[in-house]
Structure 1
Amino acid sequence: MKYRIFLFLLFAFLLNSCQNEDEKRLAENKKEAKRKELIFNNINKGWVFYDTPINTVSEENAKSWNEWRQFLAELGEKPKKTIGAFQKKSSAIAKRATALNDNIPAQFNQPQIKSRISILITKIKMMDLYIHLDKIPDQKVIFLIGDINKELVSLERQMDKIVEKNKIPLEEGESELMKMIKDTARAIPDVSVNPNIPRVE
């Protein structure tokens, strides 16, 4: 009899502890779901990229420079519904940004443009990294989106500066000077004066 009572009490205790575990698990799941929903809402609000050109030079580039056009188009498509959609879009944007280095138009194939593209790629890859973490730091993602927009504006303004600079006509002899700077064989040789050689004055 004592044995049956002991088994009954043990069974009741196990049943009660299982129910407590289930309740804890459900509470944790609800808490996690609320946290994920909050992160999704924050990222959804902050996911605003400057996908339209800010000047005519950038607009012209979108017509002729295929990688630039595809990159801006990728920025313009906002994902919906899930964090997974934002993660996929972030990876797609990173891929398009990396492709910007492949076919830079000749007039923009300069260190100023290349460095700005590199910075832009770095910021986008950081955003992609953060959004793929298990616990997404949504504030960092939103901050990086703002930084990416600043880098986009900087890149487009630099393109505009290069085009404006190329419109300025060269002065007389400037083109020859530029050729001499690039071609060191044509430059005036550096003849140092030897103090031991007699000079005619």
Structure 2
Amino acid sequence: MNASRIHGIVLSGVGGQGVLSLAQILLEALRRSGLHALQSEIHGMSQRGGSVHAQVCYAEGPLSSPIIDEGCADLLIALEPLEALRYVSMLRVSGALVVSEEPQTDMEGYPPLDDIYAALKAVPGAHLVDTEDLARRLNHRQAGGMVLLGMASRFLPVDDGIWREVITQRFESKGARVTEKNLEAFEAGRGLIKEPVGV
């Protein structure tokens, strides 16, 4: 990690997909790693189906703002492909994009999926994943967000043990099975990007 600058993460999706939960897990994991981290307010329509995005900034020194300028984000985590396109301009040239291929096509005027996928695959550093297929294989309907977080973890200066600790604490009130399924989804996503890389 470059200690001399502020690092930024953008999360995007639609209401009901868990964008806020992922942002809070990220924030806690970064803080437990000894970093200063701030999260912006959620922007957009948080009700089911509305566009939602959040920003998380982190650095080795104190931060004054959680807002990321366009073209300055190191990482974009998108739970929906059209929402990925909506915020891809936030990424820096060397940034990474992890995105679910599963569309929320019930919105009016949704563009052709092939066009969206082609545009996303043209982004340097893009990693697309069929979260719907993975969720079926993991027998966990809501696995998508944790799979993407596992992929994103490869780009972040957080130890595996801290991720597991934060995820466990996030879900333990829902029982051991839900906790284990979320940890399994995280590890599945982590395994999709073989070589750890830093930003």
The structure where strand makes up a greater share of residues is 2
When the two structures are superposed, what TM-score results if normalisation uses the length of structure 1?
A: 0.25
The structure where helix makes up a greater share of residues is 1
When the two structures are superposed, what TM-score results if normalisation uses the length of structure 2?
A: 0.25
